Structure 1
Amino acid sequence: MRDFRSGWPPGDGVAVFNQLYLTVTETIGARIGDGAFGDRAAVSALDVRFAERYLTAVDTAAAGGRPPDCWRPLFEHRRHPGVRPLQFALAGINAHIGHDLALAVVDTCHALDCVPGDLEEEFERVGDLLAVLEERIRDDLMPGPDLLGIADPLTHLAGVWSLERARDAAWTAAGVLWRLRGLPLLAEEVRAWTDAGVGLVGRFLLTPCR
């Protein structure tokens, strides 16, 4: 993520999300080192597999491939002059939480030979930290009240998406995918539906606002 930061211009939409995600990752890493999580191995494994989903999407797009549908709106609109930084940030969070997090939970369960319920406590602690960071992100990237009227489309877009709801949906999806692990074709259908739905929300979040 640090390498990406040095290679992209600051106004690039993916760069906006990348800086945000780098901050989140560094914060979680520091909290792991401070002993804030009861199961350091579990939260570290989840954090790594979660990040791998984003990094793979970036590498796929850079190579001219097709990243997951949830990420495509951000890559396609990353240089759109009518999209504001907060929108880029929310679209990236939406893709990563809405699609990648459920898959990362399942990947971690396979790696640690556990079930999703074993990760729930650490999942919730990470989610609480993300909620605090989301508030900070909105404060940093939302234009001031003198620049943004109540009728501005960004006010509506920023208000309708919820990290808490996305996180709850990801946990539910992880449970469904885990139960379907013996039915790979059906599990892939569920994943594809989730991917497409999250991608549709991402396109809405990136509606040009200026």
Structure 2
Amino acid sequence: MAQTRRLTAATGPDRLSIDAVVERMQAFRSLWPARDGVAVFNRVYLTVTQEIGRCADAGGFIDRRAAVTLDVRFAERYLAAVDTVASGGRPPACWRPLFRCRSHPGVRPLQFALAGINAHIGHDLALAVVDTCRTLGCEPVDLEAPFRQVGDILALLEERIREELMPGPDLLEAADPLTHLLGCWSLDRARDGAWLAGRSLWRLGRMPELAEEFTERLDHSVGLVGRMLLTPLTRCG
């Protein structure tokens, strides 16, 4: 097995980048109503991003520079989608279901959160691996350990969702459609798929047309899952 090359550690600028991401996410809270579907996802993602910043400050990453760069490149994909919508443009297909349904009264908060996580991890994380390799001048193999560590913190998304958004046991019955919805999507599988997709995209770098087609198909397939996750489960009116 090839030995993984350790990337050079860095300090101040990386932390400032995380701070800038956190500041933008915090600003969104004053722009969107609490029940807004994108706001629901933003609250959960903000908590996890802050935790990654704390972990970086405490020296908890094997390779701090790689982990922080990956986190920032990852977050920039979400922020770019928000900016695109705010300027009247069309975001990537993976994000469109969430932005289109963000005010739908028949969609539960848990569904909004899952749809955002699906778009961000299923599509954006793979592209963030490629972005990070280009930024640091490394190969995906050099990012495997930081990717796993950041992924473990991202798993807090699921924990946070269950704490804040899951209905009580009296509401979440076996026959509830939400119960079945929860069983149809897995953060772990999405994360593993993102790692494979990111490595594949990197290999396709010398074949730009094929890489573009791969990226487009990934975008639309993740968007399809997002549409299913946002199927209204509550009757309106």
1:108 pairs with one of 132, 157, 181: 132
Partner of 2:52: 28
1:1-210 equivalence runs, <5 A: 1-210=25-234
Q: Distance in 2 between matches of 1:137 and 1:73?
A: 19
Cα offset for 1:137? 1.4
Root mean square deviation, CA, Å:
0.8
Letter of the 1:5 partner, please give it. R
User: Which is higher, the Rg of structure 1 or of structure 2?
Assistant: 2
Give the unaligned 5+ runs of structure 2: 1-24
Cα offset for 1:128? 1.4
| Structure of greater relative contact order (alpha carbons < 8 Å, 6+ residues apart) | 1
Q: Distance in 2 between matches of 1:138 and 1:91?
A: 15
Q: What's the CA shift string for 1:28-86, capped at 9, x where partnerless?
A: 00001111101111111111110110000001011111100000000000000010111
Q: Distance in 2 between matches of 1:154 and 1:82?
A: 12
Partner secondary structure for residue 66 of structure 1? coil
Q: Distance in 2 between matches of 1:138 and 1:207?
A: 19
Letter of the 1:98 partner, please give it. G
Give the number of aligned pairs.
210
Greater CA drift, 146-155 or 132-141: 132-141
Q: What's the CA shift string for 1:122-173, capped at 9, x where partnerless?
A: 1111111222341231232110111222111111111210000000000000
Give the unaligned 5+ runs of structure 1: none
Letter of the 1:106 partner, please give it. V
TM-score by length of 2: 0.87
Q: Distance in 1 between matches of 2:134 and 2:150?
A: 20
Q: Distance in 2 between matches of 1:130 and 1:51?
A: 12
- Tell me, yes or no, if the aligned pair for 2:201 and 2:211 is still in contact at 8 Å: yes
TM-score by length of 1: 0.98
Letter of the 2:139 partner, please give it. V
Of Structure 1 and Structure 2, the greater helix share is in 1
Q: Distance in 2 between matches of 1:153 and 1:77?
A: 18
Q: Distance in 2 between matches of 1:41 and 1:103?
A: 18
Question: Would you identify which runs of 4 or more consecutive aligned residues in structure 1 move more than 3 Å?
Answer: none
Letter of the 1:97 partner, please give it. I
Letter of the 2:69 partner, please give it. A
Q: Distance in 1 between matches of 2:78 and 2:87?
A: 14
**Identity value in percent:** 70
Letter of the 2:199 partner, please give it. G
Partner secondary structure for residue 78 of structure 2? helix
